[in-house]
Amino acid sequence: MAKYLIDINLPYYFSLWNNEDYIHQSDISNTAEDTEIWQYAKQNNLTILTKDADFSNRILLSQPPPRVIHIRIGNASVREFHNVLNLSWNDVLALSESHKLVTVFKDRVEAMN
């Protein structure tokens, strides 16, 4: 059963997300609005993975579910994107269990309750 919902603005094919714990928004709806994605994640107790600041802003005013993992590594090549996430992904997942917002930067990971 899926635990994480990958927002449409993140890659569909990505080795870290190639298992049953992840579902991509495009498997649900390519045209869903943020509110629909939020409600789907909330109803299914999923953590949203996104590059979209709208979800980060929204979780600051809400309590989980859903939780949010906000990837903020800016303009990066696919290789750099993969390297940054590979190095920090286990920490990101661990933090997301106990924090409502985890933000991933190129050089650090921050978590907020």
Q: List pLDDT tens digits, range 56-94.
A: 999 989 888 999 999 999 888 889 999 999 999 999 999
The C-alpha angle with vertex 67 and arms to 105 and 38, in degrees rounded to 5, equals 110
Q: Decide if 67 contacts 59 (C-beta within 8 A).
A: yes
Query: How many CA atoms lie within 13 Å of 85's alpha carbon, on the beta-carbon side?
Result: 23
The ranges assigned to domains in the chain are 4-112
Q: What is the structure's pLDDT at 24?
A: 95
Banded model confidence at residue 41, pLDDT cuts 50, 70, 90: very high
